Amino acid sequence: MKFSHKLSDAIHILAYLDIFKDGGRSSKQIAASIEANPSVVRSLMSDLRRAGLIQSQQGAPNATLAKDPANITLLDVYHALNMNHDLLHIDPKTNPNCLVGANIQDTLNEVYAQVQVAAEAQLQATTLQDVITGILHRHQNKH
């Protein structure tokens, strides 16, 4: 089972751009913070740029947020990414001749749909500024 870190990494990029707005914003520097390949960062930044969340020029290490962090919700980030937007996934191959196998998919579809709605509501209620504030607060408490 493989988990996608795209949302976490995209939020990381946006927080990084705001916290280090005075410099050090190359994809290589951001990738070092995420511990990912710079090409992964560039790909995510491309998604974020297309969604209007960041502004950047190709080949220049000067990306900036396109909006105030208080006006970027985590749902905005979630929808910006080129990925499957279902949080939970059902095994599509179960035994139709088994009581459980024949009925688990439809049953879980209902449950997972409710979880999806609740998760998206929480993402909508949380801003990038909330994340940045949390990062800076934790940093301050460590020092």
Mean pLDDT of the chain: 92
The whole-angstrom separation of Cα 34 and Cα 46 is 16
> How high is the pLDDT of residue 88?
87
CB 71, CB 127: distance < 8 Å = yes
CB 21, CB 29: distance < 8 Å = no
Question: Residue 3 — very low, low, confident or very high, per pLDDT cuts 50/70/90?
Answer: low
Look at 4 and 72; give whichever has higher pLDDT. Answer: 72
The whole-number average pLDDT for the span 55-64 is: 79
Is the predicted pLDDT of residue 82 greater than 90, yes or no? no
The architecture (CATH level 2) of 5-141 comes to: Orthogonal Bundle (1.10)
> How high is the pLDDT of residue 87?
84
The reply to whether the predicted model has a pTM over 0.85 is yes
- C-alpha distances (whole Å) from 113 to each of 82, 86, 93, 102, 116 are 20, 9, 19, 19, 5
User: Taking the C-alpha atoms of 53, 57, 60 and 64 in order, what is their torsion angle to the nearest 10 degrees?
Assistant: -20
